[in-house]
Amino acid sequence: MSGRRGLLLGLLLGGVSRSWHQPWGRADEATRLSLYADLTRKAEAAKIDTIFLADTVTVNEKAPEPGLEPITLLSALAGLTDRIGLIGSVSTSFTEPFNVARQIASLDHLSGGRAGWNVVTSAWGEQNFGRELPDHDDRYAVAEEFTTLVERLWDSWDADAVVRDVGRRLLVDPARVRRVDWESEHFKVAGPLNVPRTPQGRPIIAQAGSSEAGRDLGARHADLVFTTGLTDVAESVRLRADLRRRAVAAGRAPDAVKVLPGVAPVVAASDAEARRIWEDSHELLDLDAARASLAGQFAGVDLSDVDLDDPVPLERLPAEDEVQGRRSRYGVMLRLVTSGELRTVRDLVLYHASAAGHWFPIGSVERVADQLQQRWEAGAADGFNFLPFYLNYPGGLEALTEGLVPELQRRGLFHTDYEHETLRANLGLAPHDAEEAIA
Q: What 3-state class would DSSP assign to 201?
A: strand
3-state secondary structure 203-248: CEEEEECCCHHHHHHHHHHCCEEEECCCCCHHHHHHHHHHHHHHHH
Cα separation values, 142 from 70, 158, 216, Å: 22, 27, 13
Q: Which CATH architecture has domain 8-264+359-438?
A: Alpha-Beta Barrel (3.20)
Question: What pLDDT, on a 0 to 100 scale, did the predictor assign at position 435?
Answer: 41
Give the integer Cα–Cα distance in Å for 163 and 154.
18
Q: Which residue has the higher pLDDT, 99 or 294?
A: 99
Judged against a pLDDT cut of 90, whether residue 314 lies above it is answered with no
Grade residue 21 by pLDDT with cuts at 50, 70 and 90: low
Q: Which helix (H) or strand (E) holds 412?
A: none
pLDDT digits (tens, 9 = 90+) for 81-93: 999 999 999 999 9
Judged against a pLDDT cut of 90, whether residue 392 lies above it is answered with no
Grade residue 205 by pLDDT with cuts at 50, 70 and 90: very high
Q: What 3-state class would DSSP assign to 89?
A: strand
pLDDT digits (tens, 9 = 90+) for 40-85: 999 999 999 999 998 888 887 777 778 899 999 999 999 999 999 9
Q: What 3-state class would DSSP assign to 156?
A: coil
Grade residue 3 by pLDDT with cuts at 50, 70 and 90: very low
Alpha helices in 114-170 (DSSP H): 136-154
The domains of the chain are located at 8-264+359-438
Q: Quick one: 193 exposed, middle or buried, by C-beta within 10 A (0-12, 13-18, 19+)?
A: buried
For 149, half-sphere exposure in the C-beta direction (CA atoms, 13 angstrom radius) is 25
pLDDT digits (tens, 9 = 90+) for 327-372: 666 677 777 778 777 788 777 777 676 666 678 888 999 999 999 9
pLDDT digits (tens, 9 = 90+) for 166-195: 999 999 999 999 999 999 989 999 999 999
pLDDT digits (tens, 9 = 90+) for 222-275: 999 998 766 778 888 999 999 999 999 999 999 999 999 999 888 999 999 988
pTM of the model: 0.86
Q: Which residue has the higher pLDDT, 317 or 188?
A: 188
